[in-house]
């Protein structure tokens, strides 16, 4: 078990995707630090890990807060020791930062759009900034803090969460796409910078995964798809949405020094083939 006794810090660990990653790493013997905004969600994951005989520490904080992340790092070192791997899974989108239309309607310039339609000029720019903050700075700040521990330890691995939006922005997702493209670029530049410290920085780019948020705007294959969900499935050769377990193997590989020790600065699509189709 390649992760036995490794110390893995996972942000966004209360969510559908990263909670599964945390549980699976713990099964391999990793000491897992569950980080997120909501302690109650993290406690559920910790209970699952404990039930499987694993070891987990819960720490609720805001990953965009430098002071909070510094305190987290101190707590991790005190409880478990120096970090071996960091998974930057915290992030998300905000519907307030999204228009409801996919292209300009000139009426939005004069404020004449009907009340049930929201254009780009009607979005909440504070929400837009918050999306950039959680996805970009929520990756930068934990990486900088825990890379210090990895350097002290002789090396380590960081896995960031990029997206299909990193390659080509989806309609309406301006802030989210912009921030995930930044994560992919940051992965490359940080990989080059931290290489002398034997800290590898890579990313995964999940395709369209099943979680509570996706069910609301994509639907499900079993219960019926929205128009957007239908478009996604038609563009995915695998013919389905991804599940959390589809990410686990890639994360394990990227955080295993023996398996991927010469791999740094890459973003790996885990997308069911979504990027293979041009749409025509």
Active site residues: 176
Q: In what side-by-side order are the strands of the sheet with 267-270?
A: 55-60, 31-36, 7-11, 85-88, 156-161, 199-206, 267-270
Place of tokens 């997120």: 36
As a whole number of angstroms, the distance between CA 95 and CA 262 comes to 39
Which residue from 246, 140, 155 is spatially nearest to 194, judged by alpha carbons?
155
Bridge partners, residue 210, by sequence: none
Bridge partners, residue 268, by sequence: 204
The pair of three-digit structure tokens given for residue 236, joined into one six-digit string: 């995915």
What residues contact 47, with CB distance under 8 A and at least 6 apart? none
As a whole number of angstroms, the distance between CA 142 and CA 136 comes to 11
As a whole number of angstroms, the distance between CA 138 and CA 135 comes to 5
Find out whether 233 and 239 touch, Cβ atoms under 8 Å: yes
């Amino acid at each position: 078990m390649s992760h036995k006794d490794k110390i893995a810090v996972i942000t966004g660990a209360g969510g559908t995707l990263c909670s599964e990653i945390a549980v699976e790493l713990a099964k391999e013997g990793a000491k897992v630090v569950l980080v997120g905004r909501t302690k109650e969600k993290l406690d559920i994951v910790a209970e699952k890990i404990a039930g499987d005989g694993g070891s987990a520490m819960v720490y609720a904080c805001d990953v965009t807060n430098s002071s909070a992340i510094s305190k987290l790092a101190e707590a991790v070192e005190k409880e478990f020791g120096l970090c071996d791997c960091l998974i930057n899974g915290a992030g998300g989108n905000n519907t307030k930062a999204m228009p409801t239309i996919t292209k300009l309607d000139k009426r939005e310039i004069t404020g004449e759009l009907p009340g049930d339609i929201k254009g780009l000029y009607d979005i909440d720019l504070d929400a837009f900034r918050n999306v950039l903050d959680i996805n970009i700075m929520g990756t930068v700040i934990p990486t900088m803090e825990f890379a210090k521990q990895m350097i002290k330890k002789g090396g380590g691995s960081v896995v960031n969460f990029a997206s299909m939006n990193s390659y080509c922005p989806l309609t309406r997702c301006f802030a989210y796409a912009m921030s995930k493209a930044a994560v992919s670029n940051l992965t490359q530049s940080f990989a080059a910078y931290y290489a002398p410290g034997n800290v590898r920085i890579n990313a995964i780019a999940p395709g369209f995964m099943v979680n509570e948020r996706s069910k609301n705007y994509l639907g499900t294959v079993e219960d019926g798809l929205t128009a957007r969900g239908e478009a996604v499935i038609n563009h995915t050769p695998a013919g389905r949405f991804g599940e959390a377990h589809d990410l686990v193997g890639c994360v394990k590989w990227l955080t295993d020094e023996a398996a991927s020790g010469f791999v740094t600065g890459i973003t790996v699509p885990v997308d069911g083939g979504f990027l293979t189709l041009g749409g025509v």
